[in-house]
Amino acid sequence: MEIQARAKINWTLNVVGRRGDGYHLLDMLMQPLALHDTLRIEPADGLSLAIDGADGLSAGQDNLILKAARALKETAGISRGARIRLTKRIPMGAGLGGGSADCAAALKGLNAFWGINDPLDALCALGVKLGADVPFCLHDAARRAQGIGESLSPIESRVFPMVLIQPCAALSTKEVFAAYHQAAVSPPDTEKAALALAAGDLRALKAAASNVLESASVPLRPQIATAKEALYQAGAGFAQMTGSGSVVFGAFETEEAADQAFDFLKTVYSTCIRTETAL
């Protein structure tokens, strides 16, 4: 079996509170991308993982794919194994949800591969214990995510041509949130941003949307602001940092505009990806 693990972007990200256990309460508009990793699953007695395309990523027991597999086995009470090979295409430390996407793909793929056939809600209940973005990745569609990310409701969007830039190394999510608590930020108008997405109106989206973690990140990583400006100069209708960074994405009105921007920006940035949003 082969299953795709699609990256995601945050059209908006707002911090609206904090739980007693330290988890931040969020309100986000998110959408998957065509950009994806691939998991190949084969029968085996035990559980094993091999990784192509990411030399720095551990294939050991701490990998989220193996954590997901063990959690599913334990919950279902089965003893079957699997040999899993991950082909990595989503940049790491990017805010694109690559680890969560891989985890979700493992849950969804092994759920079918082992014949467990748990419903989506059950997989989400298991997935949120492994990562806050895992339920969104299991839904694999445009959603408004609230709570710590587990409360999901459908939103309308469309396919937007995209260019992604990773202009610098990542900070840890912990560092970004620490900076957020010291920064002056402008929260998004999430309702208006959702209406703009439904209408496919990038101009209205630009006026309504924001990622509050971007404001906190720019003083620590000024390359974020430079990359965002480069995307606008190249013709993006809307550009923003995704998640806690470090990728900045640009959404374009047409395929031709995105192609032209990509052809130029890939000569400036070593990590520059042409993709599109997915429905």
List pLDDT tens digits, range 109-141.
999 999 999 999 999 999 999 999 999 999 999
pLDDT of the residue at 174: 85
Query: What are the beta bridge partners of residue 146?
Result: 27, 151
List pLDDT tens digits, range 204-244.
999 999 999 998 899 999 999 999 999 999 999 999 999 99
List pLDDT tens digits, range 89-106.
999 999 999 999 999 999
pLDDT of the residue at 242: 97
pLDDT-derived band at 184 (thresholds 50, 70, 90) equals confident
- Using a CB cutoff of 8 Å and minimum separation of 24, what contacts does 237-240 make? 237/202, 237/203, 237/205, 237/206, 238/202, 238/205, 238/206, 238/209, 240/10, 240/11, 240/209, 240/210, 240/211, 240/214
List pLDDT tens digits, range 56-78.
899 999 999 999 999 999 999 99
How is the beta sheet containing 248-251 ordered, strand by strand? 238-241, 248-251, 161-165, 272-276
pLDDT of the residue at 94: 94
Could you tell me where in the chain the CATH 3.30.70.890 domains are found? Answer: 161-276
pLDDT of the residue at 172: 85
Is the peptide bond preceding residue 217 cis, with omega within 30 degrees of 0? no
Could you tell me where in the chain the CATH 3.30.230.10 domains are found? Answer: 2-154
Mean of pLDDT values over 265-277: 98
Tell me the pLDDT of the chain averaged across its residues.
96
Q: Residue 154 pLDDT > 90, yes or no?
A: yes
**Higher-pLDDT residue of 169, 40:** 40
pLDDT of the residue at 37: 98
Q: Residue 173 pLDDT > 90, yes or no?
A: no
pLDDT of the residue at 20: 87
Q: Residue 16 pLDDT > 90, yes or no?
A: yes
pLDDT of the residue at 99: 96
pLDDT of the residue at 128: 95
The answer to whether 118 and 31 are in contact (CB under 8 A) is no
Fold for the domain defined by 2-154: Ribosomal Protein S5; domain 2 (3.30.230)
Residues marked active site are found at 8, 133
Residue type, 227: A
Q: Residue 267 pLDDT > 90, yes or no?
A: yes
DSSP, residue by residue, the chain: -EEEEEEEEEEEEEEEEE-TTSPEEEEEEEEEEEEEEEEEEE--SSEEEEEES-TTS--STTSHHHHHHHHHHHHHT----EEEEEE--SPSSSSS-HHHHHHHHHHHHHHHHTT----HHHHHHHHTTT-TTHHHHHH-S-EEEEETTTEEEE------EEEEE--SPPPPHHHHHHHHTTS------HHHHHHHHHHT-HHHHHHH--BHHHHHHTTT-THHHHHHHHHHHTT-SEEEE-TTSS-EEEE-SSHHHHHHHHHHHTTT-SSEEEEEB--
pLDDT of the residue at 170: 84
- Please give the CATH number for the structural domain made up of 161-276: 3.30.70.890
